Amino acid sequence: MVAGAERVGTEPAGILEELLADVEGPRVVAVGGGHGLAAALGGIRGYAGRVDAVVTVADDGGSSGRLAPALDIPPPGDIRQCLVALTPDESVWRQLFEYRFAGADVMGHSMGNLILAALADIEGSFDRALASAERLLGSVGSVIPAAPEHLRLEATIGGATVRGQVAISLARGPVEAIRVLPREAKATPRAVEAIESADQIVLGPGSLYTSIMAALVVPGITEAINRSSGQLVYVVNLTTQDGETLGMDAADHLDALIRLTGVRPPAAIVAPKEPVDAAPPLEPVRVDGDVLATYGVDLVTADLVDRRSSRPVHDPDALGVVLGSIVE
């Protein structure tokens, strides 16, 4: 156990061959999307022998929401963030992928999103575009869309049907069900292979319904996790989210995760040692070790807050040290 942490209670064929090859360090797969997944990857790359990110493809906001339906590609925004998080060195390419236009016809677009869209057209497929982007950036792992195509998220909230990732993130009320459309969608085979061969599978941090569950409810993803012998870890958010998880504590998050996706209970939950400051109506996610123990999980706490940020976010390095210390 790490000091400061406390335990309470290329081409598909080549990629598969690489997944099965011997590596120094554990094979780790992180599942989700957005800034939370990027933070996890920034820490995981420090201890993993191989790291793969399985990323939601249901984002319909901002630059991704404009590009994905128009060009018939998976939404590139979360994928781009993960590519950058897996890039250890500063470079002109990294700066380009992070650059966002502030005006003119391309206002709001990230250059990285546009590069991925252009590469998909040049290479003839989004998979080949990702492989090219990983080479350009010098990424230390792979980013895998949860499904090969852009999907739409749909939820039942307070008895009403709400469609779209942005609309769901803003809706108030209990989430009773969540799914992706079209219903016959299937997980990317590479994502299933990576999960099944993983030594550790990390869920979170990130938006509970519109990032983590948005990836898990793609048919085939949760099933692969439940078949895998890898250690499943859930990283608790530092604060609640307006419109998604207001009033929910860590046990509520875990209960919703298991109940709405069917994923097996995690072996461990990683949470901050001390509550963080949050501006109302947000509040720190409360953690009750006794309640979490009823799910049969270990609670691991540590100082996880990035003190350099003006808002409560995870420190990738601190998170990586904790995740690396508990991998089986």
Residue ranges and CATH numbers for the domains of the chain are: 6-64+141-326 (3.40.50.10680)
pLDDT in tens, 145-177: 999 999 999 999 999 999 999 999 999 899 999
Tell me how far the alpha carbon of residue 30 is from its chain's centroid: 6
**Per residue in 244-303, pLDDT tens?**
899 999 999 999 999 999 999 999 999 999 889 898 999 999 999 999 999 999 999 999
Q: Give yes or no for a contact between 146 and 54, defined as CB atoms under 8 angstroms apart.
A: yes
* Eight-class DSSP state of 266: P
* Whether the Cβ atoms of residue 37 and residue 215 lie closer than 8 Å to each other: no
d(CA 125, CA 37): 24
DSSP-derived secondary structure for 122-185: HHSSHHHHHHHHHHHHT-SSEEEESSSS--EEEEEETTEEEESHHHHHH--S-EEEEEEESTT-
Tokens of 89: 């060195």
Task: Report DSSP letters for 175-211, one per residue.
Answer: EEEEEEESTT----HHHHHHHHT-SEEEE-SS-IIII
Structure tokens at 145: 């869309």
What strands lie across the sheet with 152-157, from one edge to the other? 160-163, 152-157, 175-181
Task: Give, in order, the Cα–Cα distances in Å from 305 to each of 58, 62, 266, 319.
Answer: 28, 27, 22, 9
pLDDT in tens, 187-222: 999 999 999 999 999 999 999 999 999 999 999 999
Average pLDDT over residues 35-61: 96
Q: What is the pTM of this model?
A: 0.90
* pLDDT value for 68: 86
Looking at the DSSP bridge assignments, the partners of residue 202 are 30, 233
CA-to-CA distance for 49 and 87, rounded, in angstroms? 15
pLDDT tens-place string over residues 65-115: 788 888 899 999 999 999 999 998 889 999 999 998 876 666 668 899 999
Which residues are 161's β-sheet partners?
Answer: 156
Map tokens 């307070």 to a residue.
158
